[in-house]
């Protein structure tokens, strides 16, 4: 396998930075627009942008009739529930802690894969689960005031991570016929329908008067994080082995914690920092377990 070109390495670093910084910026937009209005606007504009890109690339957008039902379920798990729970969860806690809880997804994916796909939990995966659960235990070891004034955010973010994990496992069980770009575009467009319904029911059909900072947060989410982010991710998956690309995402919550401190003045206590280290170690162990298999396949 040829080593990735320099541009792809720069692209990977840029994507990690953009998605990490997005967590505190997203909190600004969610607070002023309203959690669901912000999520709905991001999905509508971002989904439209992805659709235009897919059409410009000449992607085949037709979905086989038999795959519409799996597509709706995958969109619900991977996008709709994630957007709703995550949108409300981040408004109840520091953005750095929210990003850390969101990226516990690989841990839950290991458990769900063992239950529903028959994947064996190896020693590496078991160690990863132990580290991850230890990190969550550290978070709950103190008073609620030590982990945020409103503890409702923790179950919301964990629910979002669980839904994302369930969606990931479900995606593996379906033999999709569409390309990655086409399928992702449809997942977002279809998954946006429940988000719109929840937004209209909870926050109503209105456009709030927000600050320039909130508009900037929305623009950042739509452009760099949504449209550019997905395009960059697809290219990275072609340039890097999938396990290496996945491991690179472990830097995102670390950047989320650091940028939250810089942009929002958040002060993560020792419990949050200790839990961050444990959870990042856990996810690294879980994903690293896949590397030997890849090395065997690519060895000369």
Summarised one tens digit per residue, pLDDT across range 110-167 is: 788 888 877 777 777 678 778 877 877 776 665 455 455 567 788 898 999 899 888 8
In a domain, 58, yes or no: yes
The structural domain count of the chain equals: 1
Predicted confidence (pLDDT) at residue 97 exceeds the cutoff of 90:
no
- Low-confidence winner among 7-11, 72-76, 154-158 (lowest mean pLDDT): 7-11
Q: What is the pLDDT of residues 212-256, one digit of tens each?
A: 999 999 999 998 888 888 777 767 766 665 445 555 566 677 777
Predicted confidence (pLDDT) at residue 291 exceeds the cutoff of 60:
no
pLDDT of residue 141: 66
In a domain, 39, yes or no: yes
Q: Which domain holds residue 246?
A: 6-298
Q: What would the mean pLDDT of 260-274 be, rounded to a whole number?
A: 73
Q: Is the Cα torsion angle 233, 228, 250, 76 positive or negative in sign?
A: negative
Predicted confidence (pLDDT) at residue 19 exceeds the cutoff of 80:
yes
In a domain, 203, yes or no: yes
Distance (Å) of CA 188 to CA 45, 159, 174, 232, 272: 11, 19, 17, 17, 32
In a domain, 1, yes or no: no
Give the list of residues 6+ apart from residue 136 with CB closer than 8 angstroms, or none: 104, 275, 279
In a domain, 160, yes or no: yes
Q: What would the mean pLDDT of 61-65 be, rounded to a whole number?
A: 94
pLDDT of residue 1: 43
Give the list of residues 6+ apart from residue 176 with CB closer than 8 angstroms, or none: 67, 183
In a domain, 30, yes or no: yes
pLDDT of residue 160: 93
What are the b/e assignments for 175-184, b being 16+ CB within 10 Å?
A: eeebeebbbb
């Amino acid at each position: 396998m040829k080593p990735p070109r320099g541009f792809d390495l720069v692209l990977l670093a840029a994507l990690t930075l953009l998605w990490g910084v997005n967590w505190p910026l997203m909190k600004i937009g969610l607070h002023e627009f309203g959690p669901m209005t912000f999520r709905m606007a991001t999905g509508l504009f971002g989904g439209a942008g992805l659709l235009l890109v897919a059409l410009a690339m000449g992607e085949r957008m037709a979905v086989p009739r038999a795959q519409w039902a799996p597509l709706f379920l995958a969109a619900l798990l991977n996008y709709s529930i994630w957007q709703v729970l995550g949108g409300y969860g981040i408004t109840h806690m520091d953005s750095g802690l929210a990003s850390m809880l969101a990226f516990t997804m690989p841990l839950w994916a290991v458990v769900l894969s063992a239950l529903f796909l028959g994947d064996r939990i190896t020693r590496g995966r078991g160690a990863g689960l132990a580290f991850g659960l230890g990190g969550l235990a550290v978070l709950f070891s103190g008073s609620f005031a030590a982990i945020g004034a409103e503890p409702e955010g923790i179950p919301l973010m964990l629910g979002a991570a669980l839904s994302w994990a369930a969606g990931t496992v479900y995606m593996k069980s379906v033999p999709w016929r569409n390309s990655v770009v086409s399928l992702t575009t449809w997942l977002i467009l279809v998954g946006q329908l429940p988000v719109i319904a929840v937004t209209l029911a909870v926050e109503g059909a209105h456009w709030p008067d927000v600050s320039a900072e909130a508009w900037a947060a929305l623009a950042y989410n739509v452009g760099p994080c949504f449209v550019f982010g997905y395009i960059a991710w697809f290219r990275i998956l072609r340039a890097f082995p999938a396990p290496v690309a996945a491991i690179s995402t472990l830097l995102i919550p670390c950047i989320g914690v650091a940028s939250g401190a810089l942009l929002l003045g958040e002060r993560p206590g020792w419990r949050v920092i200790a839990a961050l280290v444990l959870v990042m170690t856990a996810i690294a162990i879980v994903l690293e377990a896949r590397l030997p298999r890849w090395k065997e396949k690519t060895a000369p």
